Structure 1
Amino acid sequence: MKRTTLIATGMAAALLVASPIAWRAYADGSPRLAEKTEAKGDPLAYDLSKVSKEGLTAMRSVYMARVALNDGDYDAAKQNLKAASDALGQVRMDNPSVDVKEDVKVGDKVVSTTKEHVQVDLVPISSQYRIVEDFSANPEKSEHIAKAHEHLKKGDTQAAISELKLVDTGVVFERIDMPLTATKQHVDTAIGLLNDGKYHDANLALKAAADGLQYHTISMVAPVKAP
């Protein structure tokens, strides 16, 4: 598994998580050199919570399949793997995609233009925040926390972070991402191995799927007030 831990203060916290459009468009992590980028279509015009729930369902089914394999209940393992495969297929269908155009310039001259159809591969399956120091609730702080919770339910990480900054206390934001393509490959491999009676190898394939999850932690430290 991959873990990323970031510490931010003040406005920097909002910049540590890419904006939803940029994160989706460049989810593969490939470097870009572009003076101008245009995206056609609205990558936010879909229900992120639905995709996240489907991804979480898939990973829960992977976990239950591993439990069944360890218990020697191979029929239950097959049922859970089918559920995982179906959920991952639904994630792929519901996942957004955008058309991205990039103009690379030297000075004021466009030297090349590229167009590509990009689909998100990293799917957020869980996100939460927690208070990491003494916290005295008041109506204003409670309102910001409630708004942050609603933003997280809608998949708007940046807006949630902006609200949490206003709470004026130490907050840790955590998110788990699932790499869709790799997870589907591991599940498909496990299904084939299970059908061949290679139960130990099937379990290892599912372990690889679980290990592929990416864990991100952002610590938002409240600014130190001048004496």
Structure 2
Amino acid sequence: MKKKLIVTAITLLAMSSVSAIADTKPSLSPIEKTQSQDKKEYMLAKHGFDAIRDVQLARLALFRGSPDAAENLIKRAQKSLSEDNSDWDKFIKKNKKTPLQGDNYIIIDESVNVSDDFIATPEKSKAIAKANLQLKNNARKEAIESLRLIGIDVSITQYLMPLNQTRKAVDKAQQLIKEEKYYEANLALKMATDEIITDTISRDET
């Protein structure tokens, strides 16, 4: 089911704080290599995240009577979406929840939900310590399972953007703005955000 894109303050902070990876280290441990790769992937996923953010801001600018600002935001979104990088493939999600044929659904954001009664027990403290170590070593699936065994449920919701469809909607909005059809441009941008879907991952899929 389609849902509006929801971005938490924590996610915004995490996405904006990722730094570029330098290739100057002489050697990396297996954990460091994994962490470096994660940072690289977050930087790429950020292209889609930033594009949708600019689309939303462009819609606001149009309704505030600032078509020039909206056009600049759309151009920035186009730049993000047109990144000619094969690494886009790393973020393609394929399952029954990605309905558009001939398109690639890109993971542009994730949110984590935790169900916990916050009642501390020795067993829970031990399991949480184990999960912390697993998370440190990038073993997310194992950490979630460790928490599940003591009654803490963790679910991950991914936000998926149809890349080709979004590009077309943004390009159409750009053309409509040039024709001074601002209302129609806003509808085109709305199509881009409306096509984003969510997928909640079970612990067996993490």
Q: TM-score range by the shorter chain?
A: 0.5 to 0.7
**Alpha-carbon displacement from aligned partner over 1:78-125 (angstroms, at most 9, x marks no partner):** 0100010000012x4253559xxxxxxxxxxxxxxxxxxxx9822111
Partner of 1:144: 131
What is the alpha-carbon distance in structure 2 between the residues aligned to residue 120 and residue 51 of structure 1? 18
What is the alpha-carbon distance in structure 2 between the residues aligned to residue 68 and residue 86 of structure 1? 19
- In the TM superposition, 1:1-227 aligns within 5 A as 2=2, 47-90=40-83, 92-97=84-89, 121-135=104-118, 136=120, 138=125, 140-145=127-132, 147-148=134-135, 151=138, 160-168=140-148, 169-220=152-203
User: Aligned residues: percent identity?
Assistant: 29
What is the alpha-carbon distance in structure 1 between the residues aligned to residue 170 and residue 125 of structure 2? 47
Bigger relative contact order, structure 1 or 2 (CA pairs below 8 A, ≥6 apart) = 1
Distance 1:177 1:70, change over 3 A: same
Q: Could you tell me which amino acid in structure 2 is paired with residue 93 of structure 1?
A: N
> Runs of 5+ in structure 1 lacking a partner?
4-44, 99-118, 152-158, 222-227
CA RMSD of the aligned region, Å? Answer: 3.0
TM-score, length basis structure 1? 0.58
Residue 129 of structure 1 contacts residue 172 of structure 1 at CA under 8 Å; is this kept in 2? yes
Partner of 2:34: none
More helix by share: 2
| Segment of structure 1 superposing worse, 70-79 or 125-134 | 125-134
Partner of 1:101: none
What is the alpha-carbon distance in structure 1 between the residues aligned to residue 76 and residue 133 of structure 2? 33
Q: Could you tell me which amino acid in structure 1 is paired with residue 2 of structure 2?
A: K
What is the alpha-carbon distance in structure 2 between the residues aligned to residue 185 and residue 204 of structure 1? 13
> Runs of 5+ in structure 2 lacking a partner?
4-36, 91-101
Q: Could you tell me which amino acid in structure 2 is paired with residue 138 of structure 1?
A: S
Residue 178 of structure 1 contacts residue 213 of structure 1 at CA under 8 Å; is this kept in 2? yes
**Alpha-carbon displacement from aligned partner over 1:17-55 (angstroms, at most 9, x marks no partner):** xxxxxxxxxxxxxxxxxxxxxxxxxxxx89321221111
What is the alpha-carbon distance in structure 2 between the residues aligned to residue 75 and residue 146 of structure 1? 50
